[in-house]
Structure 1
């Protein structure tokens, strides 16, 4: 139990974090800089201010409190179609690049960092091998990158946590217990992590989607949506599988099903709560990263500040170079697999796009939490001497990749001519045209069934839809306004709702057939939800 003083201190710290998030997010918007970068730098600068409360980063807090909802939110906004189409490229990064990074860091540490040997270098490589889903999503989406680059980066950051944590598990076995796993053990463990993690996540998703069909209450749905990611993560961890993949699989599944299991009103409420929640959690996480500098430096007494800066800078350059070395041949291998083995027809990836994917390898709170969670002693009782240096190097990599690479991305993208590209506009326009045409077909069918009754109602709605159709490639119409009795107005409302539902059915069908991305669907779904909510709230007795 917390005493009153402890509760008061916790409230003060939490309030301070929220104020920092709000203030520096406004600063980031004014500076037109991605807010994770500003929040990390702000936390770093504030850590030097005397008498500011010291807020240590608890790894359990990150893995058990922050990670599940943030992963779930990222998976929810990930398009399954794009994830599936880019699965080869994502696998080359989430599995191949993680393994290459772990090996490369272990070799570099063994040869050039005197305080680390190959095994402790392997642990360091496992800690820093994974990119950050939060940073990748928030930065890449705001820069106008081509859609495919964003999809690959998001997919990589969602999946590579599982492979990175597996590598960390093996590294700790080698360092702490002196037990080196065989290749067969590693492969079997990886397959179990993937299969069991995805299976558990999908099973929970199926159960929750079935339960959601019997509930249409906003507050209850919000509570359930908050429970789901924690349930998936804890179930995956309890089964010694990948809790990360369980959350990702559950989030992808629930996102696909949300178009049919949520009512428009509930969906609007849930999205509003989750939008605020993810922003708060993201902001707190990045501020906490910057505030950790005093704790990182406090554990290192054997090296001078100059030596530490040299180590941090050189190691960050090596890590960036390893990613760039891997990304170019990996992109060509992925292209050959898709075209020669899977039989797909596509253009060979351009060097500019591949370079941007290689440059966008930000690390974040998962890496720092993994480093801090390392044991302080070995199984023999001897101290884990390399631990503090691993924590420092991890912190250095986060600062360099997040701040330096994050700040250089906008001018780099503009210089390469990749800014403002998007592949969803034409697709979305075609989908809107199909939806409106099917809504007009629905109105024609209903008009025939009603005969001459409510003719002006049908004229009114038809004119409205034809105006909307003209905006996406149809012909102009004339919109007449009519005075209606309550009965006539309610009939208009019912017919209008039916037309909106016809649009929704067409939209879902296009998504299921692979002609519409989940991102475009969510944009149009928002419009339909607002229309349907307006009709529901405008009912006349």
Structure 2
């Protein structure tokens, strides 16, 4: 490992340069990294890269899922819960079933159980790829929320299908009632363990004498504890991390200081940036090794099977998107839905086209055991691996490169379900200023005339500005008053974020971030 250390340092530098190039070319960096990894793998004399499945599942997956849960809006997740759950569970199962049937019919030597193994691997779309691509185009907030929410849940459902299929291949049978009980335990146990560990860590942050450094380390440790504990209990580690992460993200202002939130945000941004870059580069680097292990099957035949499965996935997701719209239009006559309006033909097509595959599919494929318990070679393992890599490449290149163009060409209808960013910004600033004035006039009414500093604070909020700093020399008492104002504003913002459905969560989080910055700056002033 030490002999190859300079290679991995060089690889990290190359990743940074490629991401900068991707930004310059306005191409999503996962696409550039996969292509570059594939090209680099053909350079003679370089160390051969072999990815251990535990490296992806245990080291990479928990923090990536955890960060995604923290970045996801609970309000939006709940608002679009029906379509998110349908895509994350129903569509994933139907996709896996479609892949299993097609593979069983068209690929020689593929049993239905092996088809479900492949289906479980390739059924979940990758949110990292979609999010990276959507940054270059203007899309409705609802689409981003649906894609983010779906990606949090579909990893768990696809891996559950994958595990049951592995058992069926190993034993040659599938007992439905045992599978149902096992499925129930994996789901409920994963959710329960994730929430329980999340609650324990939340109390640890709140009750122990932690500082920002300790808080950040604890947040990095948390997803690993959740994942490993759930897996040891034979539950879904993915669901544990997702549910525990959502709990802590929703309660972050109750147990983390503004300093911990600010510093933790920067640390996590850098950590996830590096992890994502490494994973997508490794995808390209690993492909030649998988190709070399195809055995007797010709490369052209294997590529053909990969393209066939890719077509099944792309077409199936588009049909599922239109099916979801149709079901919603029917269901709106009987139940309350998030939006009763017809989204038209453009929205489901673009939602269906946003189904790039990535990290989880790679990890699942690599985790297929080389041998069964009886010592025999796992059937079609290398072909499954190769098809998975072809699917990742095809969906990233074909869908990833064309999605921004299609969005610009086709466009989305104007849903009008969120305030424009500039209007929302102005509204929030006015309301925060109003809250500050109300707090001053209510709590310090008797001191407003005699206290010069309080007069300055009143003047500040009357002019609705957040840029003027308080005096450089500020007394401890006035600091307390200013901090109380910030806390009043933060409380108001959190409450109204949940009440106002048309208020974009991203804008709310931006203003919460500004309040944390203001509190941090105030702590540095003399007094």
TM-score range, shorter chain: over 0.9
1:509 maps to which of 495, 500, 507: 495
Query: CA distance change for structure 1 residues 237 and 142 in 2, over 3 Å: closer, same or farther?
Result: farther
Corresponding residue number in structure 2 for 1:7: 2
- Post-superposition shift, 1:281? 0.5
Aligned mates of 2:333, 2:415 — CA distance in 1: 24
Corresponding residue number in structure 1 for 2:59: 65
Gaps of 5+ in 1: 1-5, 472-478
Taking the TM superposition and a 5 Å limit, the aligned residue runs for 1:385-404 are 385-404=379-398
Corresponding residue number in structure 1 for 2:458: 462
1:297 maps to which of 291, 297, 316: 291
Query: CA distance change for structure 1 residues 413 and 307 in 2, over 3 Å: closer, same or farther?
Result: same
Q: Does 1:148 align with 2:134?
A: no
Corresponding residue number in structure 2 for 1:205: 198
Contact 1:320 1:359 in 2 (8 A): yes
1:135 maps to which of 114, 129, 151: 129
Contact 2:429 2:464 in 1 (8 A): no
2:432 maps to which of 426, 431, 435: 435
Aligned mates of 1:449, 1:240 — CA distance in 2: 62
Corresponding residue number in structure 2 for 1:310: 304
- Post-superposition shift, 1:485? 9.5
Aligned mates of 1:187, 1:328 — CA distance in 2: 29
Aligned mates of 1:323, 1:222 — CA distance in 2: 38
TM-score by length of 2: 0.93
Q: Does 1:268 align with 2:262?
A: yes
Corresponding residue number in structure 2 for 1:83: 77
Corresponding residue number in structure 2 for 1:474: none
Aligned mates of 1:242, 1:58 — CA distance in 2: 20
Corresponding residue number in structure 1 for 2:441: 444
Query: CA distance change for structure 1 residues 115 and 343 in 2, over 3 Å: closer, same or farther?
Result: closer
Gaps of 5+ in 2: none
Higher mean C-alpha displacement, 146-155 vs 299-308: 299-308
- Post-superposition shift, 1:329? 1.0
- Post-superposition shift, 1:444? 1.9
Taking the TM superposition and a 5 Å limit, the aligned residue runs for 1:312-351 are 312-337=306-331, 340-342=334-336, 346-351=340-345
Query: CA distance change for structure 1 residues 339 and 536 in 2, over 3 Å: closer, same or farther?
Result: farther
Aligned mates of 2:507, 2:224 — CA distance in 1: 28
Contact 1:141 1:150 in 2 (8 A): no
Contact 1:78 1:518 in 2 (8 A): no
Query: CA distance change for structure 1 residues 508 and 384 in 2, over 3 Å: closer, same or farther?
Result: same
Aligned mates of 1:452, 1:384 — CA distance in 2: 82
- Post-superposition shift, 1:192? 2.2
Query: CA distance change for structure 1 residues 26 and 351 in 2, over 3 Å: closer, same or farther?
Result: same
Contact 1:145 1:420 in 2 (8 A): no
2:173 maps to which of 179, 185, 193: 179
- Post-superposition shift, 1:235? 1.3
- Post-superposition shift, 1:77? 0.5
Q: Deviations over 1:364-396 (max 9, x none)?
A: 121122112212334444323311111111000
Aligned mates of 1:381, 1:38 — CA distance in 2: 40
Contact 2:88 2:154 in 1 (8 A): yes
Q: Deviations over 1:138-191 (max 9, x none)?
A: 333443221111111111111111111111112112222102131x44433333
TM-score by length of 1: 0.90
Aligned mates of 2:387, 2:182 — CA distance in 1: 28
Q: Deviations over 1:292-312 (max 9, x none)?
A: 111110111323333233222
Query: CA distance change for structure 1 residues 462 and 142 in 2, over 3 Å: closer, same or farther?
Result: farther
Kindly report the root-mean-square deviation, in angstroms, between the aligned alpha carbons of the 2 structures. Answer: 2.5
Contact 2:69 2:245 in 1 (8 A): yes
Taking the TM superposition and a 5 Å limit, the aligned residue runs for 1:468-479 are 468=464
Aligned mates of 1:160, 1:485 — CA distance in 2: 51
- Post-superposition shift, 1:208? 1.3
Corresponding residue number in structure 2 for 1:476: none
